[in-house]
Amino acid sequence: MKLTKQTDYAFRILMFCAAGGDRLSRVADISRVYGASEPFLFKILHPLVEGGLVHTVRGRNGGIRLARPASEISLAEVVRLTEDNFTMAECFEPDDADCPLIETCRLTSALREALEAFLAVLDRYTVADLAKPSAAVINLLSMIEAGPPTSSRPGSA
């Protein structure tokens, strides 16, 4: 199973917010750090807000933050919110399947069990597990707070 870019970036947004603690995170900063367009990130934010994972604050000094502690947001919850389709094989949707074995094949049940196991593992991990402070995360956040580097002319101090 391959997760979509939407899910990948949803994890990244949540990790960014978790690493920032209770301060508001700006979508522009997230966009700059991850190299993703702001409209794309706003599209991903919609299910995260609707699902109660992210809270938005509008206005000039607005931004986003986690709606609840990172330790209470499981990775499986994020996947369930952001993935549109868990169809692993044609037989997951019997109405559309052309397979003559659909009624007797055990592949569907094996794949469903595998999907449940995949989600069960992700249920054991949280956004807090992904965003545990590390030197790299701390460095990244301090670069964001300081703003983009200013260019200096050669020979100037």
What mean pLDDT is predicted for residues 2-17?
93
pLDDT, position 118? 93
State the pTM of this model: 0.77
142 near 31, Cβ under 8 Å?
Answer: no
Q: Average the pLDDT over each of 6-15, 39-48, 81-90, 101-110 and give the range with the smallest value.
A: 101-110
What the block records as the tokens of 116 is 């449940």
pLDDT, position 105? 73
Where are the chain's structural domains?
A: 5-146
pLDDT in tens, 116-154: 999 999 999 999 998 876 677 667 666 555 555 444 444
What residue has token string 């469903």?
112
Residue type, 30: I
Residue type, 12: R
Phi, psi of 55 (to 5 degrees): -115, 135
Query: Looking at the domain covering 5-146, what would its CATH class be?
Result: mainly alpha
- DSSP collapsed to 3 states, the chain: CCCCHHHHHHHHHHHHHHHCCCCCECHHHHHHHHCCCHHHHHHHHHHHHHCCCEEEECCCCCEEEECCCHHHCEHHHHHHHHCCCCCCCHHHCCCCCCCCCCCCCCHHHHHHHHHHHHHHHHHCCEHHHHCCCCHHHHHHHHHHHHCCCCCCCCCCC
pLDDT in tens, 59-89: 888 899 999 999 999 999 999 999 987 776 6
